[in-house]
């Protein structure tokens, strides 16, 4: 194995020039930077992780374009993507319980990513998560804007055929970027819902005025969620139709439709309608001990050709092609909204996917985006037109070797 | 490290103070133990004395050495204006501005369903009866500008408005999630003058 030392990246042309400083925030150098590998020039320039699952990475440099993380199963490849999810402000795609992600014997974890705008970090301390930019606390929404990443992992495979939650979350992620104020409305809604649920499920019969306080908050923020989802679906639908056509999907045109019992009620009337539903639902919901109506129960259906629910008709292969199309559409919309190409993080890219669809998918990706793929069979990357990059060999949570992808390609091609 | 059960108990007690984590508790514990005998005695007796002399005002629930407190009995204070705060410490914060000339009502916390704190756990009834009987014309809701403080203000507004007084809220330029005690005096004074009706 020819290990290519990471400093080679220092000589590559930077499309962005020198790293700018964030106004008002002094650039922090961490420890002995001179001894550290030079940062790459992609969105994720380097990655460090301690205490998070089995990962032990110290400022590991990534290629600005293509990175293939390879190794047998169970070595920590998916953990790398999950770590990036946390740094970029997302929830983990594997667990809602962050304590589960700590390495045995660790009480805290820290993940840091070197980016063009500075060091982004996520820390898990006492079961709580903090997002940081250059050592300062930021919100998850700000982290998501600093490091936009579109993920495609095993947990997405059931998006079309599974329950509404995954589709709703996928739409919400997009709305969070496309619709101003969406994230704030979402967190307000969830806090108010948790409070109202607690009042409904308590032993004491709840104070009507106190319930009203949380119902007002639910109605206000809920109306913003309804409007935001409608707006995001309206943007996603044409992009999805376009990408599905590129991937030769038989389903067209596609429309994402937010399904709830509000029907086509105009946005201006949604808040009042929600408020009266919460009020009317009190006794029924007191019996159930929770809030039974509202945008947290919305479904998002993918409809083709008018009103055919694609999930009921599509084969497994067709569903996967649509998932690839959804991913391309997400990349395109984020690129447009943020004026920069998001990172694509694709877990186990060669396991479940049709080769032809995958090749078309790769062709359709923007040329300037950074890509992270994981695989147990790295040679399959040869067939994808993705340009140059690095292969990172992963063993027991560590990167044990890095080599140019071109090298393995030529070796495989010529040494038969 | 040698077992230090008494020192551990001291640290555990210090850690229960607001804003004190394990590290600060350890540092404070060491500082307390390295104090001179007289200094330590003075600290202990000041705690004992403050505890025995202070009580909560039976009218406004703020901290006082005389009951009712000086604000409640001061004839120059405007009895038509009542500021509602979460904690007794917030009274001192507002007093420092010298801008507020009304009286106070301390709730003893904020509504927090997720922590099981409801209206019955706060001094809400006392507030309502003061407003009903004391000729209060304006209630200024000065709860903290965070989720719980906002919910508490909205709840009190619902209860108070039918009784007739003007109900206002501090117009704090504080980031959401902050607490009153972190506001500087200039900001607080400005928010007192710029209070808005709920
Ligand atoms: Zn008093």
Q: Looking at the structure, do residues A4 and A135 belong to the same domain, yes or no?
A: yes
From ligand 1's centre to the CA of B115, what distance in Å?
Answer: 28
**Residue where one domain finishes, among candidates A319, A342, A365:** A319
- Number of structural domains in chain A: 2
Note whether A198 contacts B114, CB cutoff 8 Å. Answer: yes
Does residue A128 belong to any structural domain of this protein? yes
Does residue A208 belong to any structural domain of this protein? yes
| Contact with chain A for residue B21, Cβ under 8 A | no
Pairing of strands A108-115, A46-50: antiparallel
Q: How far is residue A147's CA from residue A304's CA, in Å, rounded to a whole number? A: 33
The reported pLDDT for the residue numbered B173 is 61
Q: Mind listing the domains of chain B with CATH numbers?
A: 5-53 (1.10.8.420), 60-197 (3.40.1360.10)
The reported pLDDT for the residue numbered B176 is 53
Contacts of A51 (CB under 8 A, 6+ apart): A102, A103, A106, A107, A108, A109, A110, A124
Q: Looking at the structure, do residues A244 and A128 belong to the same domain, yes or no?
A: no
Residues of A in contact with B127 (CB under 8 A): none
Q: Looking at the structure, do residues A410 and A282 belong to the same domain, yes or no?
A: no
Question: Is the peptide bond between A253 and the residue preceding it cis, with omega within 30 degrees of 0?
Answer: yes
Q: Looking at the structure, do residues A50 and A198 belong to the same domain, yes or no?
A: no
Residue listed under structure tokens 């972190």: B182
Does residue A45 belong to any structural domain of this protein? yes
From ligand 1's centre to the CA of B77, what distance in Å?
Answer: 11
**Residue where one domain finishes, among candidates A287, A302, A319:** A319
Quick one: which H or E segment has residue A108?
A: strand A108-115
The fraction of chain B above a pLDDT of 70, given in percent, is: 95
Residue A108's closest CA among A94, A121, A95, A126? A126
Q: How far is A196 from chain B (nearest CA, A)?
A: 8
Q: Looking at the structure, do residues A232 and A253 belong to the same domain, yes or no?
A: yes
Q: How confident is the model at residue A90 (pLDDT cuts 50, 70, 90)?
A: confident
- pLDDT tens column, B93-137: 899 888 899 999 999 999 999 999 999 999 999 999 999 987 899
Q: How far is residue B151's CA from residue A297's CA, in Å, rounded to a whole number? A: 24
Does residue A271 belong to any structural domain of this protein? yes
Does residue A341 belong to any structural domain of this protein? no
Which residue numbers in chain B have pLDDT < 70? 1-2, 172-178
Note whether A216 contacts B147, CB cutoff 8 Å. Answer: no
Kindly report the CATH number assigned to the domain that includes residue A26.
3.40.50
The mean of the pLDDT values for chain A is 86
Q: Looking at the structure, do residues A382 and A286 belong to the same domain, yes or no?
A: no
- pLDDT tens column, A293-308: 999 999 999 999 888 9
Q: Domain range for residue A82?
A: 1-64+72-147+378-416
Q: How far is A113 from chain B (nearest CA, A)?
A: 27
Q: Looking at the structure, do residues A189 and A42 belong to the same domain, yes or no?
A: no
Residues of B in contact with A216 (CB under 8 A): 154
Question: Which of A207, A215, A217 is the best mutation test for B, with the most CBs of B within 10 A?
Answer: A207
Q: Return phi, psi of residue B15, to 5°.
A: -65, -20
Residue A341: is its pLDDT beyond 80?
yes
The reported pLDDT for the residue numbered B156 is 98
Torsional class of A52: left (φ above 0), alpha (ψ -120 to 50), beta (otherwise): beta
Q: How far is B61 from chain A (nearest CA, A)?
A: 23
CA angle, A84 then A75 then A372, to 5°: 35
Does residue A340 belong to any structural domain of this protein? no
**Residue where one domain finishes, among candidates A319, A349, A368:** A319
Question: Which of B109, B112, B113, B120 is the best mutation test for A, with the most CBs of A within 10 A?
Answer: B113
| Contact with chain B for residue A359, Cβ under 8 A | no
Does residue A17 belong to any structural domain of this protein? yes
Question: Helix or strand or coil: residue A145?
Answer: helix
Kindly report the CATH number assigned to the domain that includes residue A227.
1.20.1050.90
Q: Looking at the structure, do residues A93 and A167 belong to the same domain, yes or no?
A: no
Q: Looking at the structure, do residues A4 and A116 belong to the same domain, yes or no?
A: yes
ipTM above 0.85, yes or no: no
Say if CB A154 and CB A162 are below 8 A apart.
no
Residue A5: is its pLDDT beyond 80?
no
Residues of B in contact with A195 (CB under 8 A): 113-114, 151
Note whether A217 contacts B151, CB cutoff 8 Å. Answer: yes
Q: Looking at the structure, do residues A109 and A45 belong to the same domain, yes or no?
A: yes
Say if CB A274 and CB A214 are below 8 A apart.
no
Q: Looking at the structure, do residues A213 and A138 belong to the same domain, yes or no?
A: no
Q: How far is residue A121's CA from residue A133's CA, in Å, rounded to a whole number? A: 6
Does residue A59 belong to any structural domain of this protein? yes
Between A60 and A98, the more confident residue is A60
Note whether A210 contacts B155, CB cutoff 8 Å. Answer: yes
Q: Looking at the structure, do residues A169 and A129 belong to the same domain, yes or no?
A: no
> What one-character-per-residue DSSP string does A46-64 give?
EEEEESBTT--EEEEE--S
> What one-character-per-residue DSSP string does A305-359 give?
TTTEEHHHH--HHHHHHHHHHHHHHHHHHHHHHHTSPPEEEETTTTTSS-HHHHH
């Amino acid at each position: 194995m020819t290990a290519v030392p990471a400093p080679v990246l220092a000589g590559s042309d930077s499309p962005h020039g020198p790293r700018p400083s964030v106004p008002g925030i002094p650039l922090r150098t961490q420890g002995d930077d001179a001894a550290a590998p030079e940062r790459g020039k992609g969105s994720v320039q380097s990655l460090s992780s301690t205490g998070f699952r089995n990962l032990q990475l110290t400022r590991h440099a990534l290629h600005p374009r293509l990175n293939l993380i390879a190794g047998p199963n169970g070595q920590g490849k998916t953990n790398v993507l999950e770590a990036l999810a946390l740094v970029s402000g997302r929830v983990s795609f594997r667990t809602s319980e962050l304590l589960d992600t700590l390495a045995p014997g660790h009480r805290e974890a820290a993940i840091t990513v070197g980016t063009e705008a500075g060091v982004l970090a996520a820390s898990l301390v006492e079961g709580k998560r903090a997002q940081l930019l250059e050592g300062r606390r930021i919100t998850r929404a700000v982290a998501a804007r600093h490091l936009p990443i579109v993920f495609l992992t095993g947990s997405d495979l059931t998006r079309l055929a599974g329950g509404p939650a995954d589709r709703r979350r996928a739409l919400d992620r997009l709305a969070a970027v496309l619709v101003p104020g969406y994230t704030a409305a979402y967190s307000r809604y969830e806090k108010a819902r948790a409070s109202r649920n607690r009042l409904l499920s308590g032993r004491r019969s709840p104070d009507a005025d106190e319930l009203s306080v949380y119902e007002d908050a639910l109605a206000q923020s809920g109306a913003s969620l309804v409007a935001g989802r409608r707006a995001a679906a309206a943007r996603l639908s044409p992009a999805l139709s376009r990408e599905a056509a590129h991937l030769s999907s038989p389903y067209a045109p596609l429309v994402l439709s937010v399904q709830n019992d509000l029907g086509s009620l105009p946005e201006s009337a949604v808040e009042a309608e929600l408020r009266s539903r919460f009020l009317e639902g009190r006794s029924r919901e007191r019996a159930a001990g929770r809030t039974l109506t509202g945008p947290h129960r919305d479904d998002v259906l993918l409809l083709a050709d008018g009103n055919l629910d694609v999930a009921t008709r599509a084969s497994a292969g067709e569903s996967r092609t649509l998932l690839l199309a959804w991913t391309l559409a997400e990349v395109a919309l984020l690129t447009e909204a943020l004026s920069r190409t998001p990172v694509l993080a694709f877990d186990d890219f060669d396991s479940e996917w049709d080769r032809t669809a995958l090749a078309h998918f790769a062709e359709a990706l923007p040329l300037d985006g950074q890509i992270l793929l994981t695989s147990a069979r790295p040679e399959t990357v040869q067939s994808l037109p993705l340009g140059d990059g690095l292969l990172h060999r992963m063993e027991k949570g560590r990167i044990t070797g890095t080599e140019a992808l071109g090298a393995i390609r030529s070796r495989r091609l010529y040494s038969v | 490290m040698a077992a230090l059960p008494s020192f551990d108990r001291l640290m555990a007690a210090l850690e229960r103070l607001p804003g004190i984590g394990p590290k600060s508790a350890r540092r404070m514990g060491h500082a307390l133990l390295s104090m001179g005998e007289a200094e330590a005695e003075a600290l202990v007796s000041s705690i004992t004395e403050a505890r025995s002399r202070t009580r909560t005002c039976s009218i406004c629930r703020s901290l006082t050495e005389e009951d009712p407190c000086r604000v409640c009995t001061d004839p120059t204070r405007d009895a038509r204006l009542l500021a509602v705060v979460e904690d007794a410490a917030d009274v001192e914060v507002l007093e420092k501005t010298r801008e507020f000339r009304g009286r106070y009502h301390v709730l003893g916390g904020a509504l927090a369903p997720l922590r099981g704190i409801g209206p019955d756990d706060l001094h809400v009834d006392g507030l309502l009866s003061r407003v009903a009987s004391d000729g209060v014309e304006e209630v200024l809701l000065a709860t903290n500008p965070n989720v719980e403080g906002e919910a508490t203000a909205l709840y009190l507004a619902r209860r108070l408005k039918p009784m007739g007084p003007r109900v206002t809220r501090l117009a704090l330029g504080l980031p959401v999630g902050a607490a009153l005690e972190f506001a500087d005096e200039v900001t607080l004074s400005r928010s007192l003058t710029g209070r808005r009706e709920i």
